[in-house]
Amino acid sequence: MNELQKKNLSNNLLTVTAWVCACLMFFPIFWMVLTSFKTELQAIAVPPKLVFKPTLENFFLIQERTSYTRYAWSSIVTSVGGTLLAMLIAIPAAYAMAFHPGRQTKGILLWMLSTKMLPAVGVLMPVYLICQKFGLLDTKIALVVIFALINLPIIMMMLFNYFREIPGEILEAARMDGATVGREVTQIVMPLSRGGIASTVLLSIVLLWNESFWSLNLTSSDAGTLVALVASFSSPEGLFWAKVSAVSTLACAPIVVLGWLTQKQLVQGLSFGAIK
Amino acid sequence: MIVPLGMTIYFSTIRYQLLYPDRSGFNGWSNYEFFVTDPAFWPAILNTLILVGSVLAITVVFGILFALLLNRPFRGRGLARVMLISPFFIMPTVNALVWKNMMMNPIYGLFAVISGALGLEPIDWLSDYPLASIVIIVSWQWIPFAFLIFLTSLQSQDQEQLEAAVLDGAGSFSRFRHFTLPHLARSIAIVILIQTIFHLAIFAEIFVTTAGGPGNQSTNLAFLIFAQALQGFDVGVASAGGVIAIILANIVAIFLIRIIGKNLAT
């Protein structure tokens, strides 16, 4: 075997290894989706069935028995609502920090990021009691506000980085032409960083959709999100694997696809901007 | 964030039991004393450390491995990459349920089926090895995170330097040891710091799979505080626990903040 053949062989081996790893990592997800199309008896068959007649029955049953749509609606309202509320605060704030930086700007930003590193459980009691006092336990409003607050630091940091890429001269020119601050933000900064804003919004929705700590602790039946619906299957009665798979597939599919689209932003956002 | 934080610190020093609203007043350090002398406290701290340490080791090793494998051109690389990162977008509760039932169930779970086929005794993962099971579940979810960060970092590596090393006759291992690993050092530090912060507070996975049990074998600090607060209704003691959790996280956060701060300056 000559040098070239050897290299080819090892290259092929590495490729095969890469595919095996990818398949192994993906397997639980594949299995979950597969199970959702089985009947309950097929789902627990030993040995597991790989070939079977797929059924949509579980998806209908879920709909009937658990009012899936209500939980899904909660998830949508709270993750999108939380994101929009946070953007409403973050866009002006990031604008101020990026274009009119003071001496403390960096410190303030770091301080905001550091709150994200606070374990949520550390403030569980106060938040719970505040919600209780204002009658906000198990309401979507409470979740929207909390979601906006917990994601605000990451959103701020990402917007700050995007805004800083806009050349200051453009804004100066606009100011010369008599543009007000409001017009500067809405007609120049926002359109110029459209892509950045869009990916920030997507990332935030992905993170909030999967947020579990506050959803599990602050909601039950009225404002329960999909996270809570899935958790309610943790101590079930009877055969339920196929149904739980169906619920899980429905709950995860949209966000996994969104997640694929936000890979790049994910790295930046979750590393708090330490890696770009 | 300041307001709830202040309230936590305040609550942690007073008597505040939701079941006995008439007891109140300043309590000094006794909430802390109660929390720390709880027989579940030290096991919880130990569990937290084991959990964080093992998950870190697994995710860093596999993250680097996968990143190296995917950092070469081959057909369908995009798809393989998407498959590798998918677990990260799965809801923690779904993740936990899928593993608890379809993988680790001692009768019908895939692991049991496989060990049965091999003629081995099936293992009741969640009752016999609760902590190890949770480590597996959490690692599966977080390997993609480490992988993505390492891959991003590898792609910025200086290729000419590596090629020069090949010409000098350096084997692939020594290239990895002397060029790639030092190049990754910064991202490894970042992955470790960030994951430590998130994993100190792992909650949903435990909540769904073992609820801290059997006994308190898989209770971590976050779950212990939750149990004190919403199951024991003791706000004061739970708040004291919260303050302890915050202090632990802050020790790590200080280092992370430094790295981020440097990055913001440039």
Phi, psi (rounded to 5 degrees) for A130? -60, -45
Same domain, yes or no: A39 and A167: no
Same domain, yes or no: A255 and A163: yes
- By residue count, chain A amounts to 276
Same domain, yes or no: A28 and A164: no
Does residue A64 belong to any structural domain of this protein? no
User: What local confidence, expressed as pLDDT, does residue A82 receive?
Assistant: 94
List the beta bridge partners of residue B14.
B26
Same domain, yes or no: A15 and A111: no
For residue B31, count other CB atoms closer than 10 A to its CB: 25
What distance in Å separates the CA atoms of residue B144 and residue A22, rounded to the nearest whole number? Answer: 10
Does residue A66 belong to any structural domain of this protein? no
Q: Which of A117, A121, A251 sits opposite B225 (nearest CB)?
A: A121
What distance in Å separates the CA atoms of residue B84 and residue B148, rounded to the nearest whole number? Answer: 9
Mean pLDDT, residues A173-199: 85
Tokens at B56, concatenated: 């870190």
Q: Evaluate if residue B264 carries a pLDDT over 70.
A: no
Tokens at A175, concatenated: 């100011």
What distance in Å separates the CA atoms of residue A205 and residue A181, rounded to the nearest whole number? Answer: 28
- The CATH number linked to A165 is 1.10.3720.10
Does residue A115 belong to any structural domain of this protein? yes
Does residue A62 belong to any structural domain of this protein? no
Range with top average pLDDT, A26-35, A105-114, B252-261: A26-35
The answer to whether B108 contacts chain A (CB < 8 Å) is yes
What distance in Å separates the CA atoms of residue A243 and residue A38, rounded to the nearest whole number? Answer: 9
Same domain, yes or no: A236 and A103: yes
**Percent helix, strand, coil in chain B (nearest 5)?**
75, 0, 25
Answer for the pair A204, A152: CB distance below 8 angstroms, yes or no: no
Does residue A160 belong to any structural domain of this protein? yes
pLDDT tens across B10-57, in order? 676 666 666 555 555 666 666 777 777 777 788 888 888 888 899 999
Amino acid at B160: E
pLDDT tens across B129-177, in order? 888 888 999 999 999 989 988 988 888 877 777 778 777 777 778 888 8
The answer to whether A13 contacts chain B (CB < 8 Å) is no
Answer for the pair A142, A218: CB distance below 8 angstroms, yes or no: yes
Q: CB distance A271–B116 less than 8 Å?
A: no
User: What local confidence, expressed as pLDDT, does residue A213 receive?
Assistant: 82
Answer for the pair B70, B151: CB distance below 8 angstroms, yes or no: yes
Q: Single out the residue of B72, B56, B36 nearest to residue B245, CA to CA.
A: B36
Domains of chain B: 1-40+220-266 (no CATH), 42-90+124-218 (1.10.3720.10)
User: What local confidence, expressed as pLDDT, does residue A183 receive?
Assistant: 85
* Number of separate domains in chain A: 2
User: What local confidence, expressed as pLDDT, does residue B2 receive?
Assistant: 60
User: What local confidence, expressed as pLDDT, does residue A109 receive?
Assistant: 80
Q: Single out the residue of B220, B9, B19 nearest to residue A126, CA to CA.
A: B9
Does residue A63 belong to any structural domain of this protein? no
Same domain, yes or no: A80 and A17: no
Amino acid at A170: I
A positions 231-250 inside 8 Å of B (CB): 231, 233-234, 241, 244-245, 248
Chain B environment of A275 (Cβ under 8 Å)? 149, 152-153, 187, 190
The answer to whether A8 contacts chain B (CB < 8 Å) is no
User: What local confidence, expressed as pLDDT, does residue B1 receive?
Assistant: 53
Range with top average pLDDT, A43-57, B51-65, B192-206: B51-65
Q: What angle do CA B224, B225, B227 make, to 5 degrees?
A: 65
A positions 107-136 inside 8 Å of B (CB): 109-110, 113-115, 117-130
Same domain, yes or no: A163 and A88: yes
Same domain, yes or no: A75 and A53: no
Same domain, yes or no: A248 and A189: yes
Closest Cα in chain A, distance from residue B82 (Å): 7
Domain residues for the domain of A144 are 71-270
More confident position, B12 or B242:
B242
Q: Which residues contact B259 (CB under 8 A, 6 or more apart)?
A: A274, B186, B189, B190, B193
Same domain, yes or no: A75 and A150: yes
pLDDT tens across B169-228, in order? 777 788 888 888 888 888 888 888 888 878 877 888 888 887 777 777 777 778 888 887
User: What local confidence, expressed as pLDDT, does residue B164 receive?
Assistant: 81
| Minimal-distance CA residue of chain B relative to A203 | B89
Over pLDDT 90: what percentage of chain B? 10
Does residue A264 belong to any structural domain of this protein? yes
pLDDT tens across B93-106, in order? 888 888 888 888 87
Q: Which of B80, B85, B98 sits opposite A32 (nearest CB)?
A: B98
The answer to whether B123 contacts chain A (CB < 8 Å) is no
Same domain, yes or no: A18 and A53: yes
For residue B48, count other CB atoms closer than 10 A to its CB: 22
Residue A236 confidence class, pLDDT cut points 50, 70, 90: low
User: What local confidence, expressed as pLDDT, does residue A88 receive?
Assistant: 93
Same domain, yes or no: A122 and A208: yes
Amino acid at A171: L
Residue A58, Cβ density class (10 Å: 0-12 exposed, 13-18 middle, ≥19 buried): buried
Q: CB distance A275–B149 less than 8 Å?
A: yes
Tokens at B122, concatenated: 């099936």
Q: Evaluate if residue A238 carries a pLDDT over 70.
A: no
